[in-house]
């Protein structure tokens, strides 16, 4: 790891970077660091690929039920992201191996070097760590995200990579107190895990909810909020709105009323606006 002669870095809790000496290598102490302006990611036309992977039909041997209503989510995504100048690609009912293969093929495409953004919807049965292909085999989310890190996908270095995951993370139903889908040229170097936004339809151990006649509440809400606010808010602000809508939603489950909330993790380093370049 690194150059043999280089000094081993220290970590919080294990010691100071330089004992008895302030770290001035990147602007000094916190109180004296210069303000870093919050920039926006560079926009392009088209904005980028919007890849939709939807598993609606599962094989009989998979052990999973089919996911009726998910086709409505695909329709809504195509409607919204088509208007936002994304290049739409839809893949449905793939086994786990083919999902993995498709993602790697997209990651190494030369075309994405000319795009400013990448969006991926993953809609399937799942658990905390994985989604399940149509054959019932698991594909870990960490593997999916690593596929688009800069060492494998240099074309998206320094560019936003946005993932929306509609899948269960567990089966613990939360009951409501008032009453499931189990780089810009100037930036040459970047940590591999930077510039990601991963949005999930529920929190840890919780199911995701889908209606066979209206689609999944998470995906439909994401599309609605992006459609309404893409021209004046960045994606993190929009996803906070999605969280608020999810928190208010109520889901009749058997004899009780369940509630949930979506969740996102973010390593974006700039504002990410989804307003088309020519609008």
The arithmetic mean of pLDDT across residues 60-86, rounded, is: 97
Residues 231-242: pLDDT tens digits? 999 999 999 999
Our measurement of the distance from residue 101's CA atom to the centroid of its chain's CA atoms, rounded to an integer in Å, reads: 19
Choice among 108-117, 181-190, 218-227, 243-252 with the minimum mean pLDDT: 181-190
Condensed to tens digits (0 to 9), the pLDDT of residues 192-233 reads 899 999 999 999 999 999 999 999 999 999 999 999 999 999
pLDDT of residue 31: 56
Is 48-266 CATH 3.40.630.30? no
Confidence category of residue 14, pLDDT binned at 50, 70, 90: very low
DSSP string, 135-203: TS-EEEHHHHHHHTSTTT-GGGTTS-EEEEEES-S---PEEPTT------TT-----TT-SEEEEESS-
What confidence tier does 38 reach under pLDDT thresholds 50, 70, 90?
A: confident
pLDDT beyond 50 at 91: yes
Q: For residue 8, what pLDDT band results from cuts at 50, 70 and 90?
A: very low
pLDDT of residue 183: 36
Asked whether the beta carbons of 5 and 237 are under 8 A apart, the reply is no
pLDDT of residue 64: 95
């Amino acid at each position: 790891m690194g150059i043999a002669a280089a000094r081993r870095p220290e970590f919080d809790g294990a010691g100071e970077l330089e004992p008895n000496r302030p770290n001035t290598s990147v602007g000094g102490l916190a109180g004296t660091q210069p303000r870093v302006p919050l920039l926006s990611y560079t926009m392009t036309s088209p904005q980028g690929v919007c890849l939709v992977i939807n598993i609606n039909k599962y094989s009989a041997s998979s052990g999973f039920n089919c996911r009726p209503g998910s086709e409505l989510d695909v329709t809504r995504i195509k409607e919204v992201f088509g208007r936002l100048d994304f290049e739409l690609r839809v893949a449905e009912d793939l086994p786990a191996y083919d999902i993995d293969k498709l993602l790697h093929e997209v990651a190494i495409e030369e075309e994405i070097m000319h795009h400013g953004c990448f969006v991926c919807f993953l809609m399937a049965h799942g658990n905390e760590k994985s989604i399940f292909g149509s054959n019932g085999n698991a594909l870990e989310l960490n593997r999916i995200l690593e596929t688009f890190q800069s060492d494998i996908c240099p074309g998206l270095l320094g560019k936003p990579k946005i993932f929306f995951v509609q899948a269960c993370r567990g089966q613990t139903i939360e009951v409501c107190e008032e009453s499931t889908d189990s780089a810009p040229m100037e930036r040459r170097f970047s940590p591999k895990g930077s510039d990601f936004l991963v949005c999930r339809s529920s929190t840890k151990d919780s199911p995701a909810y889908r209606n066979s006649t209206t689609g999944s509440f998470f995906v439909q809400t994401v599309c609605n909020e992006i459609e309404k606010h893409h021209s004046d808010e960045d994606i993190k602000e929009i996803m906070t709105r999605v969280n608020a809508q999810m928190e208010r939603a109520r889901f009749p489950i058997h004899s009780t009323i369940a509630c949930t909330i979506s969740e996102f993790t973010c390593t974006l380093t700039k504002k990410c606006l989804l307003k088309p370049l020519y609008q």
